[in-house]
Chain A
Amino acid sequence: MSSAPLARRPLGAWGPSPDASPGVGRRRLFRYGAAGATALLTAGPLAGCASPAGSSGPSSLKVWDLFQGGDGMLMDEMIAAVSRGADGFHVDRTILDWGPSYYTKLAMSAAGGRASDVAVMHLSRLAGYAPGGLLDPFDLDLLAEYGVTEKDFAPAVWKRAQHAGTVYAIPLDVHPFIVFYDKDVAHKAGLLDPSGRLAPMGSPEALLDAGKQLAKATGHSGILFGHVTDTAQSWRQFLALYAQTGASFTLPDGGPPKIDVEAAVKVVTFMKQLFDGRTNPNNLDYNGAMAAFMDGRGGMIMAGEWELPTFRKSGIKNLGAAPFPKIFDRPAVYADSHSFVLPHQDDPDPARRREAHRYVAEIIKQSLTWASAGHIPAYLPVQARPEYAELDPQSSYAAAAEIAVLDPPNWFAGAGGNFQNRMCQPLQSALLGNTSAEKAVRQMVREADTLLRQPNPVA
């Protein structure tokens, strides 16, 4: 480098040149500054557009999911399985943190029209996405080519995968809210049938009594349930029991919510009786209840089946699991389903879309791997395989999928949504003894009504 260019500064050089007057320097500075800023602004989005393709190859299928920890590793295993061989997939997987923020990100990426090729969504959230055009429908003929059809799914689940008669989701699993129990303790408490499984309950009194017997057997507590500061747990339990009464809970747009107040009060009253703070503690948070069960300070815990790996690792010798006990008129369990969706793309490439369909079909056929974490495979041919029947305790609650009750469909309801949180607040108060069952139910109705009166932002 010679020093010549320094003597005669190039026109675009930053900063005032030594011979220029301050005024000219400033003006020039702002002019180039503005030009620079404009360049930055226009180049930014373009660069953002190009980089993902460049980093992972143009043919790789972009997949978003919310599976971390054990579930995440299983999903890795399944992806590895479908990626082998000549017609294997190149999958560019993005794992996002589960919760409200996941659904915000999914909505924003779909609203922008440049979403991933495939994403995972809780089936209970479909009503917030499909009507607003945030999801693209599945081509059932294409799926059938790859061996996946309607008859491969339980009707209750398949129905929820649709909006206005069109299929927007392909379920991977059903994950119900169930009970885990220590078989030794349950045996001591006399709750097992001759085959060594939890005997049916059949009435509220039977469950109350079971709590007492289990408490006696452990010397501490009977049934554990962590709900304090949790945004879903109480609702899961409430909805299961409420559905067992045979009453319906619907959220028609514009309100008012259709809730059988009498049945709801009956359920909350029972929940208060069950978790009276004596035989069954009423003040546990999620982690506290988990810890207490693993410590042997309770004989049974009401939890999601997804906690199976955690309980297994804790060293409980004889872990049992069963669908949520039927204590009212008809069997019902609260459940949700991890499903695959096609987030909306403004201009989808037909070949990629085809690949997306093939990917979904192939991955759900791998759901035996998925079942090892406790989830019930939604794809019935996998459920029917003898290997699944051998999975214990998973197969003992597979029936839960047939009596699964999901959140009432509306844009704000579903997993990680505002609605569950709002329903949990009065329920928590009631369980803690801060309010009566009647007042809690009245507040739930009021909260649901408030949400229904809001303009629907996705319709």
Chain B
Amino acid sequence: MTTTAPAGATAPPHASEAPPEPRRRRSLTGGGALFVLPFLVFFGLFLVWPVVQGLWMSLTDASLTLHDPEFVGLANYAEAFGDPDVWSSLGNTVVFTLISCVPLVVMALVMALLVHSGLVGQWVWRLAYFAPYLLPVTVVTLIWTWLYQPDIGFGNQLLTSLGLDPVGWLSDESVAMWSVAALTVWWTVGFNFLLYLSALQSLPVTFDEAAALDGAGAWRRLWSVTLPQLRHTTVLVAMLQVLASLKVFDQIYILTKGGPNGSTRPILEYVYDVGFTGYRLGYASAVSYVFFALVIVVSVVQLRFFRQEG
């Protein structure tokens, strides 16, 4: 599909020019297919096939253990829709997505603007903003487990030294998800920052200069010149971020195991719990397909929304 897109895109202007067409087609079906083949094989084996297999499994009572799966129709889906744990973990996933995406996009933009505006010692800022992203999830979680430690952690030490009450960062049901989101922002904002920074650096300076000559101040230029030009990057960053946040699992699994009292358990952890510690592959597949449907709906809505904006 990706290989035919450029041909299709450029076809109308060249429709009358016959000679280039055959050459392009031959190069696509010959060399191109050869290059794409290994990818297609792996894509088929490790993505398409499992997706199909998972759909089939969701209609059976497949288990990780011995017995042969039996077809149960939509029973797993019926169970999933009536399962309060599905709804609560789905709710947690949505809450996490909402509270993590906004700062992850806004802060990345602010950080990129700061660095791009010619802050002294640019490389230090670039490194500082991006460095956490390079750490593995286990390291990040370990660091933050100590920061959030109720007794000797930095967070509560700071609060108590300011005369405030200590906070149950990971033990208070109303706080834990925010703690997870803070960790996630610190850890991953660097990637969005980098996307914004590279977009900023590739913007033509002429518009900005022209606006400056016309007497527009810095804020005016930011709002009316820079930000509109960054719209495509914002769309990209926001879409990638929403999808990334929806599939949150690892930092929560290591940090809180979904606690306290299930308040941070995301849907993917529930799928993991049901499938791998509960062995119920059929039911776990059904729950993941419910989630899959949600992700598709979110993606389509987002796409529509941004198209309208554009």
Contact = CB atoms under 8 A, between A and B. Distances in A.
A452 B255 CA distance: 28
Interface stretch (A14-22, A63-71, A159-167): A14-22
Contact of A426 (B26, B172, B258, B261): B261
Interface in A12-70: 14-16, 22, 25-26, 29, 33, 37
Interface stretch (B59-67, B217-225, B286-294): B59-67
B257 A229 contact: yes
A457 B151 contact: no
B208 interface: no
Given A283-B151, A454-B278, A454-B280, A428 B64 contact: no
Interface in B268-300: 273, 276-280
A21 to B, nearest CB: 9
Interface in B132-178: 145, 149-152, 168, 170-173
B30 interface: yes
A37 B280 CA distance: 31
Interface in A418-438: 418, 421, 424-426, 428-429, 432, 434
Interface in A289-323: 291-292
Interface stretch (B33-41, B117-125, B188-196, B242-250): B33-41
Given A107-B279, A229-B171, A421 B261 contact: no
B127 to A, nearest CB: 30
Contacts of A455: 61, 280
A288 B29 contact: no
Contacts of B54: none
B66 A111 contact: yes
Given A283-B150, A418-B273, A425 B260 contact: yes
A425 B30 contact: no
Given A26-B30, A425-B261, A133 B66 contact: yes
A235 to B, nearest CB: 13
A101 B170 contact: no
Contact of A421 (B65, B255, B257, B280): B257
A103 B150 contact: no
A33 B172 contact: no
Interface in A350-379: none
A104 B279 CA distance: 8
Nearest to A430: B261
Contacts of B30: 15-16, 22, 25-26
Contacts of B152: 288, 291-292
A450 B37 CA distance: 47
Given A26-B29, A418-B278, A429 B260 contact: yes
A132 B65 CA distance: 7
A285 B34 CA distance: 55
B81 to A, nearest CB: 15
A457 B63 contact: yes
Q: Most A CB atoms within 10 A — which of B41, B255, B276? A: B276
Contacts of A22: 25-26, 29-30
The B interface, classified by DSSP as helix, strand, loop or mixed, is loop
Contact of B277 (A228, A418, A434): A418
A449 to B, nearest CB: 12
B280 A457 contact: yes
Given A16-B30, A26-B30, A26-B33, A432 B168 contact: yes
B41 A425 contact: no
Interface string A218-233: 0000000000110100
Interface string A304-348: 000000000000000000000000000000000000000000000
A22 B257 CA distance: 56
B170 A229 contact: yes
Contact of B149 (A288, A417, A454): A288
B91 interface: no
B280 A15 contact: no
Interface in B23-71: 25-26, 29-31, 33-34, 37, 41, 61, 63-67
Contacts of A421: 257-258
A98 to B, nearest CB: 13
A284 interface: yes
Given A15-B34, A229-B171, A284 B64 contact: no
A412 interface: yes
Nearest to B174: A434
Contacts of B256: 229
A421 B64 CA distance: 20
A458 interface: yes
Contacts of A119: none
Contacts of A171: none
B132 to A, nearest CB: 22
B103 interface: no
B146 to A, nearest CB: 8
A292 B257 CA distance: 23
Interface of B: 25-26, 29-31, 33-34, 37, 41, 61, 63-67, 85, 145, 149-152, 168, 170-173, 255-262, 273, 276-280
15 contacts: A26-B33, A101-B276, A104-B279, A132-B67, A228-B150, A228-B260, A283-B151, A285-B145, A285-B149, A288-B150, A288-B152, A412-B277, A424-B259, A432-B172, A454-B280
Given A454-B280, A457-B67, 9 more contacts: A22-B26, A100-B276, A104-B279, A108-B64, A111-B66, A229-B170, A229-B255, A281-B151, A292-B151
Interface of A: 14-16, 22, 25-26, 29, 33, 37, 100-101, 103-104, 107-108, 110-111, 132-134, 228-229, 231, 281, 283-285, 287-288, 291-292, 412, 416-418, 421, 424-426, 428-429, 432, 434, 450, 454-455, 457-458
Top-8 shortest CB links A-B: A457-B63, A457-B279, A283-B150, A100-B277, A425-B261, A228-B171, A22-B26, A104-B276
